[in-house]
Amino acid sequence: MKVMQTIRLIGWSLLLVMLLPMMAAFSAPAETENPEQVIQKLQTSLVQVMREGEKLGYDGRFKFLEPVIDQSHDIDLIIKTILGATYWSQLEKKQQNLIVETFRQLSVATYAGRFNQYEGEQFEIIEQRALPHEQILVRSQLIKSDGGIVNFDYVLHQTEGKWRITNILFDGVSDLAIKRGEYRAIMQRDGFQALIEMLKEKIALTRQN
């Protein structure tokens, strides 16, 4: 009887030794992507969705890109920054949730509408450099098949240990600044519901691209 108990004990010990590396692998935190890797992953996904654009259709491209945008953009901070502290604080919690979700859908829809077909375009990352307030700038270019170049500069910050996009500059023009002027003007002139309706109209228009 003691011999059998000893054999069982040895067996369980060996099994535990074999399982420990697997348990450690599952429990170990995933390595955090650096800013350049975040942008590289985003741009690789954009090229992929362009290559399959016609096959996927608009809804397929939206579904494909939705988790990519969620994982690469800080949607909450972007819309809060666009509206500013004054307008944001005037909104009820339900309104805040509504505009965050509507803006999230617009962000995904914009990518799904614009990156709809592939004509030999390639992204190339140029550099990564530090900015004030613990932000990082990743500069990249979209090289078209005819040799034309569009500059995409991404500003990222770290939130909950992950790098996320907070602004994009297209050929030096800040997307955040454009939206800030447009959205605040609507809020001031027509109010919150008018802004929501405008965002929904923009979402609908992306299907036509």
Domain boundaries, the chain: 1-30, 36-206
- Residue 165's nearest CA partner among 28, 20, 36 is 36
**202 touches 178 (CB < 8 A):** no
Phi, psi of 147 (to 5 degrees): 95, -10
Phi, psi of 143 (to 5 degrees): -100, 115
Q: How far is Cα 36 from Cα 78, in angstroms, rounded to an integer?
A: 19
Q: How far is Cα 109 from Cα 53, in angstroms, rounded to an integer?
A: 13
pLDDT per residue, tens digit, the chain (209 aa), is 444 444 444 444 443 344 334 333 333 334 689 999 999 999 999 999 999 999 999 999 999 999 999 999 999 999 999 999 999 999 999 999 999 999 999 999 999 999 999 999 999 999 999 999 999 999 999 999 899 999 999 999 999 999 999 999 999 999 999 999 999 999 999 999 999 999 999 999 998 86
pLDDT at 32: 81
CATH topology of domain 36-206: Nuclear Transport Factor 2; Chain: A, (3.10.450)
- Residue 179's nearest CA partner among 116, 86, 106, 108 is 106
pLDDT at 31: 65
Q: DSSP letter at 31?
A: P
Q: Which residues pair with 150 in a beta bridge?
A: 142
pLDDT at 208: 80
Strands (E), the chain: 122-131, 135-143, 149-159, 162-170, 173-174
CA quadruple 84, 87, 89, 91: dihedral sign: negative
Q: How far is Cα 12 from Cα 3, in angstroms, rounded to an integer?
A: 14
pLDDT at 18: 42
Q: How far is Cα 202 from Cα 197, in angstroms, rounded to an integer?
A: 9
Burial class (CB in 10 A: 0-12, 13-18, 19+), 67: exposed
